[in-house]
């Protein structure tokens, strides 16, 4: 039987003991299941995901749920960065333990069980120190975080101070709305493409924007090239989606 650790909220302790672990997570290819990690000789590596998971918020502290899974159970194993490229391999649970244990640096690796974990498979639940593991990504400590618009986390602790100390050369503070509208007005009608697209990019970095004034760019003139209308519509959509109007695209992709 292969032994794995799943990190869960302490508020779910009694439910896990009674019913096991639900298949709440999404894995490679959209499969539903449970993420876990093999029990290694190194305590720090075994619980490496704790700080990263705690960063997203939990109900109470995190606890370690030790589970025993049949050696022949098919699981997905690989680095978390391979998940989006469908690069994780399907192997038996015993082989997943062997592969992770043989790595010189298993940080960032994960095992995904494509089903729920029954209460009979839960070996024990115990508390763990809440300061174990890496955060953001392995080897992130000591490296200056990227403050570009795509990487920064809006509303995160210290995010505004970090942007002020290390502004990104391309994604610095956006110009005020009147300045951007003046640039669009000076560009004329239908307007220079570079000026319009640049202004829409800056509007996309603001929480709110003058949608009524920008609506005219949703239908570019037919005299332009076939590719330009798509660029303008894309810029307008990006700007509109990031405005705080309850739109599901409000949060930028990390």
* Peptide bond just before 112 cis, omega within 30 deg: no
pTM for the whole structure: 0.66
Which pLDDT belongs to residue 252?
A: 39
Range scoring the smallest mean pLDDT among 25-29, 113-117, 162-166, 225-229? 225-229
Dist CA 149 CA 167 (whole Å): 10
CB burial of 29-44 (b: ≥16 within 10 Å; e: otherwise) equals eeeebbbbbbbbeeee
**19 and 123 both lie in a single domain:** yes
**14 and 119 both lie in a single domain:** yes
Beta strands in the chain (DSSP E): 2-9, 25-26, 32-38, 62-69, 74-79, 89-92, 109-113, 122-127
Range scoring the smallest mean pLDDT among 73-82, 85-94, 157-166, 221-230? 221-230
CA-based angle 128:55:52, to the nearest 5?
Answer: 65
CB atoms within 10 A of CB 55: 13
Which pLDDT belongs to residue 162?
A: 84
Domain edge (last residue) among 92, 127, 162: 127
Residue 249 lies in a domain: no
Whichever domain contains 28, its CATH number is 3.20.170
Looking at the structure of the chain, the number of domains it has is: 2
Residue 99 scores a pLDDT above 70: yes
Domain edge (last residue) among 127, 144, 162: 127
Range scoring the smallest mean pLDDT among 137-141, 165-169, 217-221? 217-221
Dist CA 30 CA 207 (whole Å): 31
Contact between residue 136 and residue 52 where contact means Cβ atoms under 8 Å apart: yes
Residue 21 lies in a domain: yes
Q: Of 73, 1, 9, 8, which is closest to residue 39 (Cα–Cα)?
A: 1
Residue 245 scores a pLDDT above 60: no
Residue 117 scores a pLDDT above 80: yes
Q: Of 43, 55, 209, 232, which is closest to residue 126 (Cα–Cα)?
A: 43
Residue 56's domain comprises 2-127
**9 and 123 both lie in a single domain:** yes
Tokens for 252, please give them.
């930028």
Residue 189 scores a pLDDT above 80: no
Residue 160 lies in a domain: no
């Amino acid at each position: 039987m292969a032994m794995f650790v799943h990190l869960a909220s302490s508020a779910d302790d009694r439910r896990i003991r009674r019913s096991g672990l639900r298949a709440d997570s999404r894995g490679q290819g959209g499969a539903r299941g449970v993420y876990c990690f093999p029990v290694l000789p190194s305590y720090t590596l075994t619980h490496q995901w704790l700080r990263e998971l705690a960063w997203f918020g939990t109900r109470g502290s995190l606890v370690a749920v030790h589970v025993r899974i049949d050696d022949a159970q098919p699981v997905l194993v690989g680095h978390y960065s391979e998940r989006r490229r469908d690069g994780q391999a399907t192997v038996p649970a015993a082989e997943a333990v062997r592969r992770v244990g043989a790595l010189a640096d298993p940080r960032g690796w994960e095992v995904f069980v494509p089903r729920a974990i029954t209460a009979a498979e839960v070996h024990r639940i115990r508390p763990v120190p809440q300061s174990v593991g890496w955060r953001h990504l392995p080897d992130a400590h000591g490296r200056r975080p990227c403050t570009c618009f795509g990487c920064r986390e809006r509303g995160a602790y210290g995010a505004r101070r970090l942007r002020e100390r290390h502004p990104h050369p391309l994604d610095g503070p956006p110009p005020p709305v009147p300045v951007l509208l003046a640039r669009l007005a000076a560009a004329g009608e239908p307007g220079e493409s570079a000026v319009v697209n640049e202004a829409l990019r800056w509007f996309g970095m603001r929480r709110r924007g003058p949608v009524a004034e920008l609506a005219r760019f949703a239908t570019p003139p037919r005299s332009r090239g076939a590719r330009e209308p798509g660029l303008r519509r894309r810029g307008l959509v990006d700007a509109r989606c990031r405005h705080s109007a309850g739109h599901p695209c409000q949060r930028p992709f990390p």
